[in-house]
Amino acid sequence: MMNQIVQIVLPVFGLIALGYGVAWSGLLRRESGEALSDFVFVVAIPVLVFRTLAVAVFGGASPWGLWIAYFSVFAVMWVLGSATIRRLFGRDARAGVVAGISTAYGNTVLVGIPLSIAAYGDDGAVAMALIIALHLPVMMTTSAILIVRAERRDGVAHAEPGARALLRGLGLNLARNPLIIALVLGALWHVVGVPLAGLPRVMVDRIADVAATLALFAMGMSLRNYGIRGNIGAGLVLSVLKLLVMPALVFLVARYVIPVPPVWAKVAVVAAASPTGVNAYIVAARFRTGEALASNAITISTALAVLSTTLWMTVIEMI
């Protein structure tokens, strides 16, 4: 069993390492990596998500159990990460918001999707798509509200608009987000029941089939933009919370508290064990606080995730 899981996990993180190595060596220009990331986020992954939902077979299963199991833990981890940074490391409220994102928000798109497809096939892709459907909107909405509140608590002058303006802009950004659009279109296609066949299916398959590989390679290249900055202690603590505590709680809730289909429960654990998502740094940079904290959490958790995902995928198969 361990050998089979290693054969699933190593190629995933091997492609990330390859992308990092290519960026580090200068074989491809930085602009090439940015263009590849744009293609992955704007075209490849949205097409994959659209196909996944359009042809999904749910078998009567409801997503509510999966959502409650995962996002209840998501909320707990956000609070835990924020409290840890503020009380253990003495950081301000704004850094606490960044820490909450870094602890709760995983890289479900670039790492979670490839792992789920490799380990659990189409059923895994469906479950991960259902998690992603709420993952980004929940993170962006929560962070926008909490950052405004944290700025007031920290006594920071408001160069940014208030919560209402932020939420209005957030709604527009989500409405234009290619991933959100793909989720909506895929769900509508599934509900209408029109077969995805013929030339459209061939074209969709051609793009969707390379999405996971390109996503991992782009992830590796993008890591060159982050790296380790300053004191690594806080980033290491957040990484431990993200990679060990969060998947443990999701496993317990999905297995013993809320009934979730077995494959979906496994995918929820894989999503929870994914390294910190790059949006943690984007939010930190947007509000000009905690950039080093987010950068360290992303880099350290991605480096350690090859071990943590192997561990958790082994545990959920043995128990």
Residue 308 contacts residue 244 (beta carbons within 8 Å) = yes
Neighbouring CB atoms inside 10 A of 21's CB total 13
Contact 148, 162 (CB under 8 A): yes
Which token pair is 292?
Answer: 């080093």
With beta carbons less than 8 A apart as the criterion, state whether 292 and 230 touch: yes
Give the pLDDT band of residue 231 (cuts 50, 70, 90).
confident
Domain boundaries, the chain: 31-318
Q: What is the pLDDT of residue 112?
A: 93
Distance of alpha carbon 91 from alpha carbon 231, whole angstroms: 13
Report d(CA 78, CA 164) in Å as an integer: 22
Tokens representing 88? 């253990």
Q: Which helix (H) or strand (E) holds 139?
A: helix 113-154
**3-class DSSP state of 106:** strand
For residues 126 and 231, is the Cβ–Cβ distance under 8 A? no
Q: What is the pTM of this model?
A: 0.90
Fold of 31-318: Na+/H+ antiporter like fold (1.20.1530)
81-137 pLDDT, tens digit per residue, is 999 999 999 998 889 999 999 999 999 999 999 999 999 998 999 999 999 999 989
Whether residue 19 has pLDDT greater than 90: yes
Find the Cα–Cα–Cα–Cα dihedral 210, 136, 64, 120, rounded to 10°.
20
Model pLDDT for residues 133-185, shown as the tens digit of each residue: 999 899 988 888 888 788 787 776 555 555 567 667 778 888 899 999 999 99
What residue type is assigned to position 193 of the chain?
Answer: G
Phi, psi of 106 (to 5 degrees): -100, 165
Residue 275 DSSP class: P
> For residue 270, how far is the Cα from the chain centroid?
11
